[in-house]
Amino acid sequence: MDYDDNGLVERFEAFFREYYSDEVGDLARNYPRDQKSLCVDWRDLYKFDAELAEDYGYHPDRYQAAAEEALRRYDLPIDVSLGQAHVRVHGLTQTNAVSDIHSEHLNRLVSITGVVDRAEAPRSHIEQAVFVCQRCSYQTQVPQGQGNELREPYQCESCERQGPFKLDPNKSEFVDHQQVRLRERPTGGAATADHESIIAVLEDDLVKEVAPGDHIILTGVVRYDSDQSFDATLVDKYVETTDVSPDQTFGIDPDPYQDEIDALPERETIYEDFVDSLAPSIHGYEDVKLALLLQLFSGVTKHLPDETRIRGNIHTLIVGSPSTGKTQLLKAFANVAQHALYVDAGNSTGVGLTTAAVRTAGGRNAWELEAGPLTLADNGFAALDSLDSLSAEDQQKLREPLEHQQISSSKGDNTTSLTARTSVLAAANPMYGQWDEYEPLGDQLGITPGVLSKFDLVFLTTDWDRDSDDRALADAILRTSQAGELLARKEHGDTHDVDADVLDGVTPPIDPGLLGTYAAYARRTCYPAVSEEARRELENFYVDLRERTSNVGIPLPVTAMKLEALVRLAEASARVRLSDTITTEDVNRVTSLVEQSLGVFDLESAPASPEAEESEGSPDGPLTDAEKVKRVRSIIADIDDKQSEGAPVEDVLSLAVQRNIYPGVERSRVEDQIEKLKKQGEVYEPSTDHLRTT
């Protein structure tokens, strides 16, 4: 039915009386101090009058004006005028990604999902400007649009001259105004990849409703900006926002997988199948992959009565030599996880990873906040590669988001705190690029202790003692390559069937899309609690671990934070099978992982050279790496005490070999150790071929 303007207003009045009478009454009682808008669900309007609802989307300006006029005419129980109240429609059945907004959407009401990656500081916008004619003092009111130029009257309505005019700010009407940038949500790609974005204009009570990192559903009217004044990927369009609501789904829809989701917990080999589905082309690393699996499922975030928040997100760090598969693991994880970003920290700074304050476009002296990957991945995952490339100062900027799950930012007149409830998987190289198997591994990390302590699990991957595994590794690499070759041939027209045995090693048992959706489903629906038996197991393990590591100088001291990490991991283990109860099997699974994570740091069990493993150089067994270093320094100091010019290098080498510090190894190993001590500043040459300790 084609309504005239008055008929349209009457139709909206009838709709409000039938569907929103209580809400209109609440608005009247709270207007304007506590409430300025009536929020209307488009689906309610559709139930009331389907044609009215459809036409609202095609002609939003006319229909919103009629709806707001209906509010002003509404017979209210109290004496109040809703003259400036807004009607904000939300709940459209079709939701678009930013990249789906095209020219056909201009001047239409649409819903867009995305993440806010930039928000400028709020400012005042002139809505109705009053100009005074400088010749006759007549006042003219001129409505203002969204452009940067102030619209003046063409001529004075009284004296009919074309000015000059002067703005009267005291009589003009202002409204709070804010611009934010909405971009496509993270989907496993690189944070630096090009993502479509669009500017959204928020006004009045919508101002400051969103912040960088927020995932939202934005409803508004797509406009064309003739002034080209907005800095956006879609430079010729922006959205005049009518409603903003949080997007709790993050675009995750379990419905297509619901039957498989219901069946997965019944698998007897569910853990093994999931582990084998994470980066199947990467051979080995079963413990690391199990850790990544648990990270996908996460622990339970807890909010206590005293407002204390205990994070549920799990953080994992992998430190290893180059070309040991770290980057492939991170990218595979980011591709499987729902709502994840991969970031090369080598191309970033600590500020760039968190949030940055940048100058507002257009030359105005103001700041706007731009979200970094840890904020954009809020309630998701960030895979940070090359963490060691960050300076110690930049690494320290990660402590707040890792532990407190927020980022505090202060710049110019803009001070705020942004949420960063992000689970971090990081990878790093050793301090000197490669591991030195004769040095304590904990001394080679290159990660500041404050940041290192925030990771629940730390794995050190080496290429030592792999002689027995080299053939299996070579076989896996060659099979992967062969599978890729055969698939490439088939893709380009080869009609021969691909050998199933060849594909078996690189085909995940569970589809990555199903795994990511299942994990997201578990995080949203499963909240396990620890059984009494499991609680005792956790307590006993923690107390025993504290006792075993109390006198060992490891870079990851066992504190109460480690117990919290154990609980998070056990919760994630239960979530894998959608269980409401944490069992002793879950505890055994995660304590084994923690043993693997911490064991490599223990100086008494740190990997030593193959020769040292077979040595009888000490009555109590082979010397540890730290003891070897100390004995070489002791030899230098002892000889130096008897020599005026320092310890002769030849004497040091002879005595070290005589004392069998490096059994089965020629003196070249002692020479290497001396050179390392010199580089570390622990030994120097007071004269040629003579040594002295510092």
The span from the CA of 585 to the CA of 570, in Å, is: 9
The span from the CA of 193 to the CA of 418, in Å, is: 22
Judge contact between 214 and 151, C-beta under 8 A.
no
Q: Is the pLDDT of residue 35 over 80?
A: yes
Residue whose C-alpha is closest to residue 155's, from 147, 143, 164 = 164
The span from the CA of 252 to the CA of 261, in Å, is: 14
The span from the CA of 213 to the CA of 370, in Å, is: 9
- Lowest model confidence (mean pLDDT) among 299-303, 446-450, 517-521: 446-450
Q: What H or E segment, with its residue span, contains residue 418?
A: strand 414-419
Mean pLDDT of the 239-260 span: 84
What confidence tier does 320 reach under pLDDT thresholds 50, 70, 90? confident
- The CATH number given to 108-246 is 2.40.50.140
The span from the CA of 661 to the CA of 688, in Å, is: 25
Distance, C-alpha 239 to centroid of its chain: 26
- Look at residue 191 in the predicted model and tell me its pLDDT: 52
- Lowest model confidence (mean pLDDT) among 233-237, 431-435, 547-551, 657-661: 233-237
Judge contact between 202 and 177, C-beta under 8 A.
yes
Measured torsion, CA atoms of residues 162, 166, 167, 170, in degrees rounded to the nearest 10: -130
Model confidence pLDDT, tens digit, residues 54-109: 999 999 999 999 999 999 888 887 778 888 899 999 999 999 999 899 888 999 99
Q: Is the pLDDT of residue 367 over 70?
A: no
- Look at residue 651 in the predicted model and tell me its pLDDT: 84
- Lowest model confidence (mean pLDDT) among 473-487, 511-525, 614-628: 614-628
Spell out the domain ranges in the chain: 5-90, 108-246, 468-507, 528-599, 613-693
What confidence tier does 127 reach under pLDDT thresholds 50, 70, 90? confident
- Lowest model confidence (mean pLDDT) among 81-90, 153-162, 425-434, 612-621: 612-621
CATH number (3.30.230.10, 3.30.1640.10, 3.40.50.720, 3.30.70.360) of 5-90 reads 3.30.1640.10
Q: Is the pLDDT of residue 556 over 80?
A: no
* Structure tokens belonging to residue 446: 């290159």
Under DSSP, the state recorded for 507 is S
pTM: 0.74
- Look at residue 424 in the predicted model and tell me its pLDDT: 96
- Lowest model confidence (mean pLDDT) among 142-151, 480-489, 659-668: 659-668
**φ and ψ of 241, to 5 deg:** -75, 135
**φ and ψ of 448, to 5 deg:** -65, 145
Which residues are paired to 414 by β-bridges?
A: 411
Mean pLDDT of the 512-524 span: 92
Tell me which architecture the domain covering 613-693 has in CATH.
Answer: Orthogonal Bundle (1.10)
Q: Is the pLDDT of residue 464 over 60?
A: no
Angle at the Cα of 189 from the Cα atoms of 265 and 452, rounded to 5 degrees:
75
Model confidence pLDDT, tens digit, residues 265-278: 999 999 999 999 99
Contacts of residue 166, defined as CB under 8 A and 6 or more positions apart, other chains included, come to: 131, 132, 134
- The CA-atom distances, in angstroms, between 398 and each of 117, 294, 430, 496 are 19, 22, 19, 52
Torsion sign over Cα 105, 110, 115, 116: positive
Q: Percent of the chain at pLDDT above 70?
A: 79
- Look at residue 1 in the predicted model and tell me its pLDDT: 45
